[in-house]
């Protein structure tokens, strides 16, 4: 190449250098290595260690109310208290209802009517038996015998009626107990009291809840993941949760819900995870970071 200038800045010399670099580059790296990764491979790499923003929330939050209106008699818990399922947390005034319950119990416990009917029947039965003997001896008319028989049968039915009334009285006790129970508020969950909205002496109407309860074991983690990762997130997949400061730490959660309807505007879909919180030391209402475990990509690769 005698015609090539020896000057470093010569255009021809620069072109030759570029050409030689291209040749050597082609020898060192095959054409297949220069091609971009397949979409699925790139997707797996992105999802394996990528962190997404998430929120830790209570498993459920309940505005506890009463099926009936009334005045609050007492509230037995305060904000921040832990409650157990079935625990009494508040009561409404129930003086009239409790009096009705006592009356129903008194009626149900009395067997006077039944014993009185039994005694009457026993007397008329014996009278009928004696009249039967006298009729056979033709001392008493048959009309008297028939009358005694009818009286004995009516007395027997009175026993049945008295027993039925006693059974009804016992059912009235259960009804009165249910009316009183309506004025007793019990916690439907194991959780904590997050707010007390009404206090003793205040009136509870049909729309006003009395307190708010939250279930924090387990906790619920909500995250929105790009739609490109939809095939990687499956039910029962595990993930690492990192709550924001000052809580910190790393916790393992399990996918419980994967939305089947995407959000086209944001290009994401919702995922819900179950985060155990047995000791209730992890609070709810925290921002967090989530990283789905590597077994997500491994499972997808195995399927393909």
Q: Is residue 190 part of a domain?
A: no
Hey, what are 17's tokens?
Answer: 């250098």
- Tally of structural domains, the chain: 2
pLDDT of residue 112: 86
Crossing angle for the helix pair 142-181 and 112-136, to the nearest 10 degrees:
170
Q: Which residues of the chain have pLDDT under 70?
A: 1-49, 294-304
pLDDT of the residue at 295: 55
Do 176 and 222 lie in a common domain?
A: no
Residue 294 confidence (pLDDT): 61
In terms of residue numbers, what domain contains 148? 94-182
Residue 271 lies in a domain: yes
Tokens of residue 274, six digits: 């179950």
Same domain, 176 and 217: no
Structural domain ending residue among the three candidates 182, 202, 228: 182
Per the domain annotation, does 272 fall within a domain?
A: yes
| Structure token digits, residue 232 | 């990687």
> What's the predicted TM-score (pTM) here?
0.65
- Rounded to whole angstroms, how far apart are CA atoms 295 and 212? 39
Is 1 domain-assigned? no
- 119 lies in a domain? yes
Is residue 220 in some structural domain? yes
CATH number of the domain that residue 57 is part of: 2.40.30.170
How far is the first Cα of the chain from the last one, in angstroms, to the nearest whole number? 55
For residue 177, being part of any structural domain is answered with yes
| 184-186 β-sheet, strand order | 184-186, 88-92, 70-75, 203-204
Phi and psi at residue 234, in whole multiples of 5°? -125, 165
Residue 201 lies in a domain: no
């Amino acid at each position: 190449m005698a015609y090539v200038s020896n000057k470093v800045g010569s255009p021809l010399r620069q072109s030759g250098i570029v050409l030689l670099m291209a040749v050597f580059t082609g020898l060192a790296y095959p054409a297949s290595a220069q091609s971009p990764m397949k979409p699925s491979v790139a997707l797996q790499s992105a999802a394996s260690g990528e962190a997404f923003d998430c929120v830790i929330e209570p498993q459920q939050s309940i505005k506890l109310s009463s099926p009936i209106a009334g005045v609050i008699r007492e509230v037995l818990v305060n904000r921040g208290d832990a409650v157990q399922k079935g625990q009494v947390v508040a009561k409404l005034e129930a003086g009239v209802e409790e009096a009705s319950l006592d009356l129903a119990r008194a009626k149900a416990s009395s067997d006077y009517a039944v014993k009185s009917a039994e005694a009457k029947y026993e007397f008329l039965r014996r009278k009928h038996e004696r009249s039967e003997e006298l009729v056979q001896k033709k001392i008493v008319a048959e009309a008297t015998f028939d009358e005694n028989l009818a009286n004995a049968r009516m007395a027997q039915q009175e026993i049945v009626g008295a027993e039925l009334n006693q059974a009804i009285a016992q059912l009235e006790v259960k009804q009165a107990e249910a009316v009183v129970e309506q004025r007793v508020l019990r916690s439907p969950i194991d959780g904590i009291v997050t707010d007390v909205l009404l206090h003793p002496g205040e009136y509870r109407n049909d729309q006003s809840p009395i307190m708010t309860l939250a279930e924090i074991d387990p906790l619920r983690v909500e995250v929105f993941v790009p739609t490109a990762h939809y095939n990687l997130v499956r039910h029962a997949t595990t993930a690492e949760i990192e709550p924001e400061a000052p809580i910190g730490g790393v916790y393992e959660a399990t996918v419980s819900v994967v939305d089947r309807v995407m959000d086209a505007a944001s290009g994401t879909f919702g995922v819900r995870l179950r985060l155990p919180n047995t000791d209730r030391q992890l609070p709810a209402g925290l921002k967090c970071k989530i990283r789905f475990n590597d077994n997500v990509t491994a499972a997808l690769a195995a399927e393909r």
